[in-house]
Amino acid sequence: MSFDPHAAEQAAPRHVAIIMDGNNRWAKHHDLKPYAGHRAGVEVIRNVLDEFQKAGVGIVTLFAFSSENWKRPSAEVNALMTLFSNYLDSEIRKLNEDQVRLRFIGRRDRLSNALLKKMDYAEQSTRLNRKTSLNIALDYGGQWDIAESARQLARRVERGELKADDINEQMLADCLSLCNLPDPDLCIRTAGENRISNFMLWQLAYSEFYFSQVLWPDFDATEVRAALKSYAERERRYGGRLTQPENSEGSHFA
């Protein structure tokens, strides 16, 4: 198998996943309470999404609230849930104007009925939009996602629809969140942290990563362009080997 080393330079990533980190630190730096940092972070989403649309990115997935975030102080969790609710109230019109389809991934059994109703309404009212897919991971964890996929296949085995030995990687992938969309080409994490924190563990297997030192509320158009420029300069091999000149010596391992 050969790979074109210039392919990544010819197109923007189809799918960008973002771990939005640094809201609390931003608030501390500005002598504000955590809620102010989270609110500033929500306000950034619109401009960042606009920049990705301009660049031709068709899918954006945001890690908004992880399964582990329930461990935070209840006041902070409640404030985050209020922000999610307010975001849905204020942004649906803009999303429809920009032809953005909004979807949520993650558990729903721990969210309030009021928030669930707003989420359902947002998904239904934007379902026909085709320009951009905006996916928000809410009460989401990559380990949960894989376990849930395994549970779905196990139920099929119990019903006699499938044999355990028939299960393969593709079947597991087909039961994951966003299985009908391509996996992220690029994953961005802000605030200087160099880890993925249980986010889309399966789907990020061959994604490119970009770790920004900038706190999420300060992540602007310049930072978006820097991330896309870095991606464009990468050579994506997917575990393969780049084509070698005929007279080249030695080996080139991925």
* Number of domain units in the chain: 1
**Does the structure show a pLDDT above 90 at 18?**
yes
Instruction: Tell me whether residue 173 is in a domain.
Output: no
Is residue 200 a part of any domain in this protein?
A: yes
pLDDT > 70: percent of the chain: 91
> Which residue carries 């249980």 as its tokens?
198
- Evaluate whether residue 72 is within a structural domain: yes
Q: Which of 117, 121, 66, 63 is nearest to 91 (CA)?
A: 121
Q: Is 69 a catalytic residue?
A: yes
Which residue in the block uniquely carries the two structure tokens 């379902």?
127
Taken as a whole, the chain contains a residue count of: 254
* pTM of the entire predicted model: 0.89
For residue 158, is it within any domain? no
| Alpha-carbon gap, residue 197 to 112, rounded angstroms | 24
Identified catalytic residue from 21, 139, 145, 183: 21
Q: Answer whether residue 110 shows pLDDT above 90.
A: yes
CATH number at residue 127: 3.40.1180.10
Q: CB neighbours of 117 closer than 8 A, spacing ≥ 6?
A: none
Whether 251 maps to a domain, the answer reads no
Tell me the sheet residues that pair with 138. Answer: 65
Model confidence at 2, pLDDT cuts 50, 70, 90, reads: very low
Only one residue has tokens 């309470």, namely: 33
Task: Indicate whether 177 belongs to any domain.
Answer: no
pLDDT at position 92 over 80: yes
Mean pLDDT, rounded, of the chain: 91
pLDDT reported for residue 57: 97
Selected catalytic residue, list 4, 23, 69, 109: 69
Any domain includes 242: no
| DSSP E strand stretches across the chain | 15-19, 59-66, 100-105, 132-140, 186-189, 208-211
Tell me which residue of 64, 56, 58 sits closest to 83, measured CA to CA.
Answer: 64
Q: pLDDT tens digits for 127-141?
A: 999 999 999 999 999
Specify whether the CB–CB gap between 207 and 184 falls below 8 A. yes
Q: Is pLDDT at 1 greater than 60 in this prediction?
A: no
| pLDDT tens-place string over residues 26-41 | 999 999 999 999 999 9
Q: Which domain holds residue 56?
A: 14-143+183-232
Band (249; pLDDT cuts 50, 70, 90): very low
Q: Is 198 tagged catalytic?
A: no
What does the alpha-carbon distance between residue 57 and residue 73 come to, in Å, rounded to a whole number?
A: 35
Please check whether residue 159 lies inside any domain of the structure. Answer: no
Q: State both tokens at 143.
A: 């380990």
Quickly state the pLDDT bin for 242 (edges 50, 70, 90).
low
pLDDT reading at 254 higher than 60: no
Main-chain phi, psi angles of 181, to 5 degrees: -120, 155
Q: What is the pLDDT of residues 41-57, one digit of tens each?
A: 999 999 999 999 999 99
